[in-house]
Structure 1
Amino acid sequence: MESWFDSFTVVPMTMIAYFLLSSVLTFENGTIPPPFYQRVGFELFILFLLAVPTVAFFIANETKQLLRDEYVSVSRILGGTGLHILKKHVFRQLFPVLMILFMQQFVQTLIILVHLGVLQLFFGGTIVFFGGEVDSISHEWTGLLGMYYQSFMAHPWVPLIPMIFFSLTIISGNFILAGVEKAYQTAKQLRGKSDETVLEERPSAGKFTFLEERMKSAN
Structure 2
Amino acid sequence: MQQLAERLRHAGARTLTGVVSDSGGVIRAKTVPARRIESFARSGMGASLTWPVFCVDNGIAMTPEVNVVGDLRLTTDLERAVVLDHGFGWAPADVRDQQGELSPYCWRSVTRRQVARLASLGIEALVGSELEFGLLGADGRLLGESDGWPCYGAAVYSGLSDFAADLCERLDAAGVPVEQVHAEYGQASSRSRCPLAHRWPRPTTCCSPAR
Where on the TM-score scale, by shorter chain, does this alignment land: which range?
under 0.3
Q: Which has the higher strand share?
A: 2
TM-score by length of 1: 0.26
Q: Which has the higher helix share?
A: 1
Higher RCO structure (Cα 8 Å, ≥6 apart): 1
